[in-house]
């Protein structure tokens, strides 16, 4: 697998959990810290039984634009395969949509935000 085949995924929530990574990607991911600038974090109730079983949490974080450049949402950037990105799409519930953002570091990565 070459670097060009991989994609970057930013997680500020449950995709950082080992249990969620093993369930969706079959491996534990390694990442580096980064942040989303101009976004704020809230919580959303999760009712999907599969997602609840994987995360063990009834409420997951969710982000939306704040319009304030002083706001930051910290998280981790993971390098994953395109197939793993599709698996992540399957994990996320309808409250989320995947968008491409530029992180504080200048890196562009996919992230799941409020739909």
Residue 36 lies in a domain: yes
Residue whose token pair is 């449950």: 14
Residue 19 lies in a domain: yes
Residue 111 lies in a domain: no
- Read off the pLDDT of residues 33-90 as tens digits, 9 standing for 90 and up: 999 999 999 999 989 899 889 999 999 899 999 999 999 999 999 999 999 999 999 9
**CATH code where residue 21 lies:** 3.10.490.10
Residue 31 lies in a domain: yes
Rounded to two decimals, what is the model's pTM? 0.88
Q: 110: part of which helix (H) or strand (E)?
A: strand 108-114
The range of the structural domain enclosing residue 20 comes to 3-102
Q: What is the pLDDT of residue 28?
A: 97
> What's the Cα-to-Cα distance from 17 to each of 34, 53, 75, rounded to whole Å?
16, 12, 12
Residue 56 lies in a domain: yes
Nearest to 64 by CA among 99, 16, 105, 14: 99
- Read off the pLDDT of residues 20-33 as tens digits, 9 standing for 90 and up: 999 999 999 999 99
Judge contact between 31 and 105, C-beta under 8 A. Answer: no
What are the φ and ψ backbone dihedral angles of 54, each rounded to 5 degrees?
A: -75, -40
Q: 18: part of which helix (H) or strand (E)?
A: helix 18-25
Residue 43 lies in a domain: yes
Burial class (CB in 10 A: 0-12, 13-18, 19+), 53: exposed
Given CA atoms 49, 51, 53, 59 in this order, what sign does their dihedral have?
negative
Residue 113 lies in a domain: no
Domain count, the chain: 1
Residue 96 lies in a domain: yes
């Amino acid at each position: 697998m070459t670097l060009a085949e991989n994609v970057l995924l930013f997680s500020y929530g449950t995709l950082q959990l080992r249990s969620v990574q093993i369930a969706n990607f079959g491996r534990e991911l390694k990442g580096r810290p980064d942040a989303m600038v101009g976004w704020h974090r809230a919580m959303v109730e999760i009712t999907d039984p599969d997602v609840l079983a994987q995360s063990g949490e009834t409420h997951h974080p969710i982000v939306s634009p704040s319009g304030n450049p002083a706001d930051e949402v910290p998280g981790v950037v993971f390098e994953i395969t395109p197939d793993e990105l599709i698996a992540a799409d399957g994990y996320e519930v309808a409250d989320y949509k995947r968008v491409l953002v530029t992180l504080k570091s200048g890196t562009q990565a996919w992230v799941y935000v409020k739909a």
